[in-house]
Amino acid sequence: MSSVLLEVVTPERLVVSEQVNFITVLTGGGELGILPRHAPLAATVKPCIVKVKTDAGEDFINVNGGFLEVLPEKVTILADAAELASMIDVDRARAAKERAEKRLAQKEGVDIARAEAALQRALRRLEVVELSNKAGGALSSGKASEQ
Ligand code: ATP
């Protein structure tokens, strides 16, 4: 099957650098499905779970938001933060979820938008772990590049 190089990069590390068959990502313009040899484009990326299909199966990447560049042979996502399931500390995500839920339950002195964003980050991380466990985590199985 034809493939395209996917690179997911954060200020801290190269999260993914793999040949993949299909990518789904939430951009500022809506959900975008990217096949190899897609026409060039640039877009913002909304906080989302990027879904990837490879010869080995399906995988999932938490992306906190950033920028997308699509070229026929290469797709780059520059993200504030991004993790494959294998990089996610589940206890930390659960603690972040509880912290955010407690803040949201308070009526005063809370930055609701900030707490809601933190809650969504934690929920996405937990969902990536769950989805990857179900799918077998093609990229999470040690093929992902870490610097
Ligand atoms: P926390 O409140 O636990 O710090 P956060 O949502 O505020 O979570 P971010 O600002 O999204 O954290 O990310 C900061 C850095 O911490 C990034 O490098 C991100 O990849 C990493 N990170 C955050 N949560 C986790 C987690 N549960 N497992 C692994 N890495 C995480």
Domain extents for the chain?
A: 4-86, 87-125
**Average confidence score pLDDT of the chain:** 92
Q: What is the pLDDT of residue 15?
A: 97
The amino acid that residue 97 corresponds to is K
Domain at 87-125, CATH from 1.20.5, 1.10.287, 1.10.10, 1.10.3470:
1.20.5
Which comes out higher in pLDDT, residue 137 or 33?
Answer: 33
H/E stretch holding 102: helix 90-105
Other Cβ atoms less than 10 A from the Cβ of 63: the count is 27
Which comes out higher in pLDDT, residue 126 or 140?
Answer: 126
Beta-bridge mates of residue 16: 8
Q: Whose CA is nearest to atom 9 of ligand 1?
A: 81
Q: Which fold has domain 4-86?
A: ATP Synthase; domain 1 (2.60.15)
Calculate what percentage of the chain has a pLDDT beyond 90. 86
Spacing, Cα 36 to ligand 1 middle (Å): 31
pLDDT surpassing 60 at residue 143:
no
88 CB near ligand 1 (under 6 Å): yes
Region 62-78 average pLDDT: 97
Q: What is the pLDDT of residue 146?
A: 39
Which atom in ligand 1 lies closest to the alpha carbon of residue 118? Answer: 6
